[in-house]
Amino acid sequence: MELYLDSANLQEIEKAFELGFLTGLTTTPTFMHKEGIEDVDSLILKLADIVPILQIEALGETAEEIYVEVKRQLDMGLDINKTVFKIPVSLEGVKACKMLRNKGMMVNVHLVYTLQQAYMAMEAGATYVCPLVGRLQDQGHDALDLVQQCVDAVNFYGYDTKIMFSSVRNAEHVRNGLNIGVHTITVP
């Protein structure tokens, strides 16, 4: 199973990766702004030198806009083999996922709230499908059941997709993810 740190705090990230067992880092501009970082691109490039795999957001209203943003990020100097582009689930998002996967890029379709959304992402070839467990539970949903259904779909249908247990709120969530058999967990 893969373990990703979910952070934008440079000192925390450097210390965590000294442990030697983390798969990678996932972060967002929102987290970066909370840390007082204004030059997001500079931090992304610095993080890419520190971590084995970096997951970053690639946003846009259309699949084409998302593709342009990914191209811009790669042109900054990111390594296609060490970068996962996080795209929110939507019809345009899964279309962009398919476009990027066809070009050999890794994609995390995130903000997944239903099995149907997860299915579309898996069919589009998503490297990762990311249900937000903590957020779903905050809204009163049975997030663990959704994650289990996603893991079952990958295992039953043989998708080449990893289910990423995210929006972890506590240590119990990590145990839940392990018991469900997720492929990846992100932890703060």
For 131-147, the pLDDT digits (tens) are 999 999 999 999 999 99
Please, which pLDDT band fits residue 182 given cuts at 50, 70 and 90? Answer: very high
Please, which pLDDT band fits residue 149 given cuts at 50, 70 and 90? Answer: very high
Residue among 15, 34, 86, 98 flagged as catalytic: 86
For 69-125, what is each residue's pLDDT tens digit? 999 999 999 999 999 999 999 999 999 999 999 999 999 999 999 999 999 999 999
For 37-69, what is each residue's pLDDT tens digit? 999 999 999 999 999 999 999 999 999 999 999
pLDDT at 34: 92
Average pLDDT over residues 25-44: 93
The answer to whether 95 is a known catalytic residue is no
The mean predicted confidence, pLDDT, of the chain is: 96
Q: Quick one: three-class SS letters along 47-69?
A: HHHHCCCEEEECCCCCHHHHHHH
Please, which pLDDT band fits residue 159 given cuts at 50, 70 and 90? Answer: very high
